[in-house]
């Protein structure tokens, strides 16, 4: 299925034509961004996907009744009504978190129109309950996996409007690198590159779309193994994030939160050792070790990086753990440090993560 066409509704009470068209265009883009599908609006012919607004009985055996329980439905791909989306015109449709958000409902119903059934993942767009509560939207990995199982991944997964970031640029360096739920995430300016094991190419996202309340261009980031969070560092501040939400009370000062001395003004790199729950903070040529379970600094620190991590003699720009190794980065070079043997086992260019 290379092309899918749609006919837009001409009028909708309560929303301007421009708002309606923008909401529906964004909803289509949710699915075209992660698949090879393209969508074209047509006027002179009936499209494969027709969006229309109705009241009560409208001839498809699924009449609307004006209740909040049945406000839209869609049909799986096929002849006749297949692929079409119907909305209840008696509902209040909005471009906000009140009542029914037209963009969010359309994106969900288009999932059905493209062949998806409901998801069991409560965070997924295709979960059967309406859960929209804000304007910031990121497609859940479960939705991505299921739609790509039908159509395959995007043929241009690294393209963004206005983006020129090339992961295979040999001169590229990163602001921070971390893991999150099995992914490796490389952060650069306002972009993040996601390396996902089951995808052949990395995905590039704009940070504002995923974490709109973070400042960006961080010094360091890490995933603590004892809680489902990400922590980001910029100067002497730390932000803690769950999913797309900054936790209440953050940002906080690294001195009060972690117990750093006042002369530590930034963090170069950070990584939590999965097996022990110990977090290593690298600052210049020294490092501190923090116990995530007791939420306190271990005694006897800071220590010299070069003494405890033989061969890591340069400043640590970034670090993360994958399996039994720490990956240390200095500029564009990475060192794979085996935590059991306490030796560097391999060195090379970071571009190996991007299949360059």
Tokens of 34: 């992660």
Write phi, then psi, for 22 (nearest 5 degrees).
-65, -40
Report the 10 Å Cβ neighbour count for 324.
13
Tokens of 319: 């670090």
User: Cis (ω within 30 of 0) for the bond into 83?
Assistant: no
Q: Which among 80, 52, 75 has a CA at the least distance from the CA of 62?
A: 75
Q: What residues are annotated to the active site?
A: 109
Angle of helix 102-113 relative to helix 17-32, nearest 10 degrees, comes to 40
């Amino acid at each position: 299925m290379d092309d899918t066409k749609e006919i837009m509704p001409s009028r909708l009470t309560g929303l301007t034509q421009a708002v309606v068209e923008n909401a529906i265009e964004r909803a289509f883009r949710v699915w075209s961004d992660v698949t090879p599908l393209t969508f074209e609006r047509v006027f002179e012919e009936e499209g494969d996907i027709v969006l229309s607004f109705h009241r009560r009985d409208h001839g498809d055996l699924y009449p609307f009744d004006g209740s909040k329980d049945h406000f839209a439905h869609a049909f799986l791909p096929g002849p006749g009504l297949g692929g079409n989306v119907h909305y209840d015109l008696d509902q209040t449709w909005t471009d906000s978190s009140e009542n029914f958000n037209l963009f969010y409902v359309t994106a969900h119903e288009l999932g059905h129109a493209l062949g998806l059934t409901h998801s069991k993942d409560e965070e997924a767009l295709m979960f059967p309950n309406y859960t929209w509560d804000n304007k910031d939207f990121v497609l859940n990995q479960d939705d991505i996996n299921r739609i790509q199982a039908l159509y395959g991944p995007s043929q241009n997964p690294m393209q963004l409007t206005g983006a020129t970031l090339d992961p295979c640029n040999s001169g590229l360096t990163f602001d921070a690198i971390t893991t999150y739920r099995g992914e490796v995430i490389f952060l650069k300016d306002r972009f993040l590159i996601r390396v996902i094991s089951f995808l052949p190419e990395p995905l590039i996202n704009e940070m504002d779309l995923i974490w709109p309340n973070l400042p960006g261009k961080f010094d360091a980031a890490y995933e603590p193994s004892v809680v489902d969070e990400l922590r980001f560092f910029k100067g002497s501040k730390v932000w803690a994030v769950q999913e797309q939400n900054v936790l209440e009370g953050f940002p906080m000062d690294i001195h009060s939160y972690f117990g750093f001395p006042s002369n530590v003004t930034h963090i170069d790199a950070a990584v939590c050792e999965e097996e022990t729950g110990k977090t290593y903070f690298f600052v210049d040529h020294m490092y501190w070790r923090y116990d995530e379970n007791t939420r306190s600094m271990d005694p006897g620190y800071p220590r010299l990086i070069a003494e405890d991590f033989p061969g890591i003699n340069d400043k640590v720009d970034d670090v993360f753990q994958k399996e039994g190794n720490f990956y240390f980065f200095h500029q564009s070079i990475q060192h794979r440090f085996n935590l059991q043997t306490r030796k560097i086992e391999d060195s090379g260019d970071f571009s190996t993560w991007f299949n360059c």
